[in-house]
Structure 1
Amino acid sequence: MSAPTVGELPTAPQLLCAFQGRRFQDRELLRSAHALAELHLRRAQIRDLLLISEIDCRRSELIEDINDWITQEFPQHRNGAALHTESLGAVVDRMAGSWVDANQAIDADGARSANTHKQWYHLAELVDGYTDLVIDVAGGRRRLPQH
């Protein structure tokens, strides 16, 4: 049995599981989400500007992969749907980065620190925004920018 989706779009909990490395292998978008989280983690651990640039280049490729997937798998109609400000790939990339930041805050500062609370609150806001976005896209009320 596959996990629930909104249309063909993964839910925010599915993305969080993919970031963590669980249950992502069977869905292209979730594989890309997992790879983005791994790249954000590597990026946070290195200081070499050339390696950071290479990581950012690979992130851009994964963002485009997600954008290509959404264009192919989820055709959008323009009839009255509001345009979202960023692509789905960019949204997933920001969530992956926030997920890494939140987990690193726990490791560095402990679960009860103000920084940890701030990082997890930011991730929760992104999760809520993603959830609203995929519901609106699936319902035809919002469309994603062409990349």
Structure 2
Amino acid sequence: MFVRNRAPIIEGARTLPDQRELVAAFGGHPPEPGPEHPLIPLARVLAELHRQRHGDPLTTAGIDCRRAELVSAIDTWVITRVPQRQSTAHIRAESIGATMDRMAAAYVHASHLLHTAEKVSDNRVHAAWYRLALLADHWTDLITGAAQDNSHPRRTA
């Protein structure tokens, strides 16, 4: 769906999940055969929290606290397990956990619109899926180091 480049930060190492794995996790799809990346269960929980937040706005404060805990846990995992090199300096500037949380929110929103809009061709549905695609590209840039290259204009999502 959103595949652009599956190369990890460090050649031959499986340091962070790619955008396909995240989108599948947000949708509650079972993992592909083989070992599941340790961050995938956290991605699933983030998406579920966004669904709960969307369904019951009165629980927003508690849900947001739990999301902040998960974002922190993701960032801690990245800091302790992903080697920090010159080409990955941009990771420290932008939180991997916060990016994953934004992707989860965008996925839940787009999915909700897709299932509730009168027409699938509704501009809001298209805009929501386009936003998710931009965030997925941004994720790929983060994990491959392409965001470090200043010759590419930054995409805002």
TM-score by length of 2: 0.77
Pair 133,68 (structure 1): closer, same or farther in 2 beyond 3 Å: same
Residue type of the alignment partner of 1:29: L
1:39 equivalent in structure 2: 49
1:94 and 2:118 are equivalent in the alignment: no
User: How far did 1:82 drift?
Assistant: 4.7
Alignment counterpart, residue 143 of structure 2, candidates 125, 129, 134: 134
Query: Aligned AA for 1:41?
Result: R
> Partner residue of 1:118?
127
More strand by share: 1
- Partner residue, 1:54: 62
CA RMSD of aligned residues (A): 2.3
Q: In structure 1, what residue type is equivalent to 2:53? A: R
Q: Give the % identical residues.
A: 35
Give the alignment partner of residue 13 of structure 1, picking from 5, 13, 20.
20
Q: Which runs of 5+ in 1 are unaligned?
A: 143-147
Letter aligned with residue 47 of structure 1: P
- Could you tell me whether the CA contact under 8 Å between 2:28 and 2:44 is conserved in 1? yes
Q: TM-score, normalised by structure 1?
A: 0.82
**SS of the residue 1:26 aligns to:** coil
Instruction: Give 3-state SS (helix, strand or coil) of 1:83's partner.
Output: helix
Instruction: Report deviation, 1:27.
Output: 2.5
Structure 2: runs of 5 or more not aligned: 1-5, 150-157
Q: What's the offset of the Cα at 1:5?
A: 6.5
The number of aligned residues is 134
